[in-house]
Amino acid sequence: MEMNPNNVRFLKFENYRWNGVEVKKYKDENKTWLNVCRQVIAGKAGEKIKFHLRYFEIEPGGYSTLEKHKHEHVVICVRGRGKAIAGNEVFEMGFMDVLYIGSNVPHQFVNDSDEAFGFFCIVDAKRDKPKLLTKKEIFNLLRDEKISKVIRIPETYAGLK
């Protein structure tokens, strides 16, 4: 739904969907993640803001890409529970928990529960593209027992080749 002539945009919420906002798959490439969808709620419909507000939802057993990038982001859990790997830490996220992830911090979100894990993610509108981790970076993370129990790296992850 685009901005109206009065420079106002209202999105009706129902069951973790916003009227007029398209539900898309997480990313175009699909070899580094599983069962994730996204909605861009603000920032791409004519608003004059310098950030994007996105909603991601990870189904049970799903996970986001293990990645890093220069831009920072703030994540706010609003549905279910899930785990977030950020740097060399694992955080158990629940309703209204907030996680700030700084520049170039490796991160991944994992849903090991039996219900959807949904969160808002706030990022700069102009930002760099995420990068996959190198094999060395992955193995450094895997040395940490608490991370190795949570992290999800499919065999098709390009950093392993």
pLDDT digits (tens, 9 = 90+) for 122-147: 999 999 999 999 999 999 999 999 99
> What's the alpha-carbon Rg for the chain, to the nearest Å?
16
Residue 13, domain member (yes or no):
no
Q: Considering 110, 121, 123, 141, which one is annotated as catalytic?
A: 121
Confidence grade of residue 160 (pLDDT, cut at 50, 70, 90): low
Which pLDDT value is given to residue 31? 85
Residue 14, domain member (yes or no):
no
Confidence grade of residue 24 (pLDDT, cut at 50, 70, 90): very high
Which range marks the domain in which residue 112 is found? Answer: 26-160
Which pLDDT value is given to residue 46? 87
Residue 30 confidence (pLDDT) above 70: no
User: For the chain, what is the domain count?
Assistant: 1
**Under 8 Å between Cβ of 87 and 105:** yes
Q: How far is CA 124 from CA 25, 121, 130, 156, in A?
A: 20, 10, 13, 29
- Residues with Cβ within 8 Å of residue 89, at least 6 apart in sequence: none
37 given a catalytic annotation: no
Residue 5, domain member (yes or no):
no
Which pLDDT value is given to residue 1? 64
Confidence grade of residue 2 (pLDDT, cut at 50, 70, 90): low
Residue 71 confidence (pLDDT) above 70: yes
Residue 9 confidence (pLDDT) above 80: yes
Residue 137 sits in a domain whose CATH number is: 2.60.120.10
Confidence grade of residue 6 (pLDDT, cut at 50, 70, 90): confident
Residue ranges in the chain assigned as alpha helix (H): 135-142, 145-148
Which pLDDT value is given to residue 159? 58
